Structure 1
Amino acid sequence: MFFSLIIPLYNRPEEIKELLSSLTRQTYKDFEVIIVEDGSTRPAKEVIKGFEGVLDVHYFEKRNEGQGFARNYGFERAQGSYFIVFDSDILVPEEYLAMVKEALDLQGWDAFGGPDAAHESFTPIQKAISYSMTSPFTTGGIRGNKKHVGQFHPRSFNMGISREVWEKTGGYKLSRRSEDIEFSIRMINAGFKVGLIPEAFVYHKRRTSLPQFFRQIYNFGKGRIDIAQIYPKELKPVHALPAVFTIGVIGVLVLNMVDMLLFGDAIFLHYLVWFGNIFLVSFIVLLLLHSTSETKSLKVGLLSVVTAFTQLMAYGFGFIGNYIDRVLLRKDTSC
C-alpha cells in the first residue's frame, strides 16, 4: 500500500518543519508527502527544500481558498492508493503508518479517523487545550473513543480516505468551517465503510493562545449549525449542550449580581443562586482534579479549567449566534 500524505499549509513554516521531521522517522516507508501552500504570505518553500532527498516530498502553491479546497488540490496530484490528511500543527508517531496499514488490512476501512494526544514537549497551555478537547467533561471523551455517541465522523487533522472515496465523492464540498464533518457524512451516506483506528493517534498542538483557541472553537459552534442546514438529522440534542452551559453560566453570574443588589431578601432567588454556584464550583473542582490526575501537573490542571470554560462557551456562543442568524433570521452566514 502506497500512502499519499496531504497537508494544506497557511503561514506555518515553523510547524511544517516539525511535522516533516517526525515523518522522516516513520517505520513504514512507502509514502509521499504533498504540501499545498494555500496562498500564504509566509511561504515554507525553503523549509520544504531541506527535506528533499530525505522524504518523497512535493510542494505546490495556489491562491488562498481554504483548507478544504487545498486538500482537493492535493488529492488531484496524489499518486497513492490511499490518502491521509493531516493538519500542519501535528507530530506523527514513528509507528503511525504501520499501524494504519495493519488496521486497513484487517478492517478494510474505506475511510478512517484517528485521535489526538498531547506530546511531552508541548507547553502547559497546549496540554491544557488538548485535555479540554478530549475530556469526558467537555466533549464527552468521544474524540478517539470507540464508545462515541452516534456515527463516528473522521476529522481532518488526522483522517484517511481511499482513492475510490475521492473519485466517487469529489472530495470536500465546503472550503472552511466543518468541511470535514460534511465530507464524512457524505462518505457514510454514499455507503463507504468509515471507522476509527484508536491506535493511529497524532500529537496535535492546536492553537497556542486562548484568543486563538476561542476563535477556532467559536467557528466549530457556528459550523454545527451550517451542517444542520445541509443535513438536518445530524443536529442532535448533545450538540446543544455547550449552548445550554453557556446560558447557564451567564445566568448564574447575572443572578448573583441581582441577589447582591437585593441583599438576599428574595429567598427563592437566593437558593437558586446557591444551587447555581454549587454546580459551577463542583464542575471546576472536577475539572481540576481530573486534569491534574491525567496530566500529572497541577499547573496544567489549573489551566485546563480555563481552557474548558473557553471551549464550552466559545462553542456555545458560536452555536447560539449562528442559530439565530441562519435558523431564526434566515441569513446566509456559511463560508
Structure 2
Amino acid sequence: MFFSIIIPLYNRPQEIDELLATLAIQTYPQFEVLVIEDGSSLRAKDIVEGYADKLDIRYYYKENAGQGFARNYGFERAKGDYFVIFDSDCLIPHDYLEIVKDYLYDHDLDAYGGPDAAHESFTPLQKAISYGMTSVFTTGGIRGNKKHAGQFHPRSFNMGVSREVWEKVGGFKITRLGEDIEYSIRIHQSGFKIGLIPGAKVFHKRRTSLIQFYRQIHFFGRARINIYKHFPAELKLVHFFPAVFTLGIMLVLVLNIFYPPLAYISNVFLLVYFMLIFFHSLILNHSLKVAFLSIISSFIQLTAYGLGFIQDFLKRIVLKQQ
C-alpha cells in the first residue's frame, strides 16, 4: 500500500518543519508527501525542499482558496492508493503509517479518522486546550477517544480516504465551515465504509493562545449550522448542548446580580462541574497548572462553540439570512 500524505499550509513555516521531521522517521516507508502552500505570504518552500534527501516530497504554491480546496489540489496530483490528510500543526508518531496500513488490511475501510492527543513537549496551555477538545466533560470524548455513537465523521486534521473514494465522490465541496464533516457525509451516502482507527493517533497543537482558541471554536459552532444547511438531518440534539450551557451561564450571571438566592444551586452545580474538570485533568496530565488551565479551556470550548452556534442559528435558520 502506497500513501500520499497531503498537507495544506498557510503562513506556518515553523509548523511544517516540525511535522516533516516526524514524517522523516516513519517506520513504514511507502509514502510520498505533498505540501500545498495556499497563498501564504510566509512561504515554506526552502524548508520543504530541505527534506528532499529524507522524504519523497513535492512542494506546490497556489493562490489562496482555503484548506479544503488546497487538499483537492493535492488529491489531483497524488500517486497513492490512499490519501492521508494532516493539519500542519500536528506531530505524527513514528509508527503511524505502520498502524494505519495494518488496520486497513484487516478492516478494509474506504475512509478513516484517528484521535488526537497532547505531546509531552507541548506547553501547559496547549495541553489544556487539547484537554478541552477531547475531554468527556466537554466534547463527550467522541473525538477519537472512544468509538463514535452513530455515524463516524473523520476530522481533517487526521483523516484518510482511498483513491476510489476520490474518484467516485470527488473532493471537498466547501473549503471551510465544516468541510470535513460535509465530505464525510457524502462518503457515507455513497456507500463507502468509514471507521475510526483508534491507534492512528496524532499530536495536535491546535492553538497557542486562548484568544486564537476562542476564535477557532466559535468558528466550529458556526460550522455546525453550515452543515445543517447542507444536510438538515445531521443536526442532532447533542449539538445544542454548548448553546444551552452558554445560555445557562448568562442566566446564572443575571441571577447573581439581581436574585442571588436563586443562583445558589446553579453556582454549586458549576463549582462541582469545574472541580471535576480540574481533578480529571490533573489525573491525566499530572500538572496543577494544566489542570487549572483546563478549566479555562473547557469553559471557552463550550461557550465559544455555543455563541457561534447561536449566532448562525438565529441568522441562518430563524432569520433565514444567507
TM class by shorter chain equals over 0.9
1:300 matched to 2:290 = yes
CA distance in 2, matches of 1:146, 1:50: 38
CA contact (8 A) 2:6 2:84 kept: yes
Calculate percent identity across the aligned residue pairs: 60
Q: Where does residue 316 of structure 1 map in the other structure?
A: 306
Q: Any stretches of 5+ residues in structure 2 without a counterpart?
A: none
How many angstroms does 1:329 deviate by?
1.0
CA distance in 2, matches of 1:41, 1:146: 39
CA contact (8 A) 2:12 2:42 kept: yes
Matches within 5 A, 1:40-59: 40-59=40-59
Q: Where does residue 264 of structure 1 map in the other structure?
A: none
1:22 matched to 2:22 = yes
Q: Where does residue 319 of structure 2 map in the other structure?
A: 329
Q: Where does residue 236 of structure 1 map in the other structure?
A: 236
CA contact (8 A) 2:118 2:126 kept: yes
How many angstroms does 1:148 deviate by?
2.4
1:277-311 per-position Cα deviation (integer Å, ceiling 9, x unaligned): 01111111111011111111110000000000011
How many angstroms does 1:149 deviate by?
2.7
Matches within 5 A, 1:152-163: 152-163=152-163
Q: What amino acid is aligned across from residue 73 of structure 2 in structure 1? A: Y
Q: Where does residue 266 of structure 1 map in the other structure?
A: none
1:188-246 per-position Cα deviation (integer Å, ceiling 9, x unaligned): 01100000000000000001100100010001000000101111110000000000000
CA distance in 2, matches of 1:41, 1:300: 34
Q: 1:278 aligns with which of 242, 249, 268?
A: 268
CA distance in 1, matches of 2:153, 2:170: 18
| Length, aligned pairs only | 322
Matched position secondary structure for 1:191: coil
Q: Any stretches of 5+ residues in structure 1 without a counterpart?
A: 261-269
CA distance in 1, matches of 2:96, 2:276: 33
CA distance in 2, matches of 1:115, 1:38: 25
CA distance in 2, matches of 1:92, 1:131: 18
Q: Where does residue 263 of structure 1 map in the other structure?
A: none
Aligned Cα root-mean-square deviation (Å): 0.7
Q: Where does residue 75 of structure 2 map in the other structure?
A: 75
Q: Bigger radius of gyration, 1 or 2?
A: 1
CA distance in 2, matches of 1:285, 1:146: 23
Matches within 5 A, 1:1-335: 1-259=1-259, 270=261, 272-332=262-322
How many angstroms does 1:111 deviate by?
0.2
TM-score of the pair, normalised by structure 1: 0.95
CA contact (8 A) 2:134 2:145 kept: no
Matched position secondary structure for 2:316: helix
Matched position secondary structure for 2:299: helix
CA distance in 1, matches of 2:173, 2:140: 28
CA distance in 2, matches of 1:231, 1:256: 40
CA contact (8 A) 2:82 2:162 kept: yes
CA distance in 2, matches of 1:209, 1:185: 32
CA distance in 2, matches of 1:210, 1:279: 24
How many angstroms does 1:254 deviate by?
1.0
CA distance in 2, matches of 1:250, 1:288: 22
How many angstroms does 1:113 deviate by?
0.2
How many angstroms does 1:158 deviate by?
0.2
CA contact (8 A) 2:147 2:196 kept: no
Matched position secondary structure for 2:259: helix
